[in-house]
Homo-oligomer: A and B are copies of this chain.
Amino acid sequence: MIFALRPSERSGRPTLWIPLVRRIREPFKGLWALPGGPLTHSESLQDAASRNLQETTGLAPSYLEQLYAFGGLHRSPTQRVVSIVYWALVQPTEAALADESENVRWFRADRLGELAFDHNAIIDYALWRLRNKMAYGSIAYHLLGEYFTLAQVREVYEAVLDRELDPANFRRQVKATPEIEETDQYLQGGKHRPPRLYRFTGRPGLDPDNRSTP
């Protein structure tokens, strides 16, 4: 389950997109589904998630975390399947390089049709978790490049939380977080005063997969 920001077609503002793969066999042949695959004996769960991500979309995520293990009895009509789902955030530069083909395509996260299996429910849950994490932790930065303006951060929040935020107040809050570092670079090229660039110096989450690896 991969999230990336892409500019919306109309407004140009960033919105959440996710890549899906088309099912080429039954069940649900022809429908779109989350990328995934079996776990082998010689890789950890996180490694398997990375590998699947790499194989289907060519992406290397800047953030990868376990989402949930789905194990209901009737997730697949043909057999019992337990899916340990990971979710990833990728930076725009990465996302632009992603492979796209007949059977791999990006979709806006808020405009999905009916997907295979219980994948709509999985995505709903991932969106809920993303919004939740965003409200507390510092996760939005993994959707941006190394350098970013505070307005870009605000746009990420606005896209994910789907509401407008006061620019001045948002600034004040972000600047109060110690993980945000001011650079002395400015972003040129806009039709207005050039905004200062910042960078994020924090580490990912505190999950069992990540907490030990410093």
Q: What count of chain A residues pass the 8 Å CB interface test?
A: 26
Cα distance A206–B128 when bound, in Å?
A: 9
Q: Is residue A169 within 8 Å, beta carbon to beta carbon, of the partner chain?
A: no
Task: Say whether B208 contacts A39, CB under 8 Å.
Answer: no
Chain B residue at minimal CB-CB distance from A41 = B80
Tell me, yes or no, whether A68 is within 8 Å of chain B by CB.
Answer: yes
Q: A206-B128, A208-B121 given as contacts; is B41 within 8 A of A69 (CB)?
A: no
> Residues of A at under 8 Å CB distance from B?
39, 41-46, 66, 68-73, 80, 82, 84, 121-122, 125, 128, 136, 206-208, 211
Q: Which 6 A-B pairs have the closest CB atoms?
A: A45-B71, A69-B69, A69-B84, A125-B208, A44-B72, A41-B80
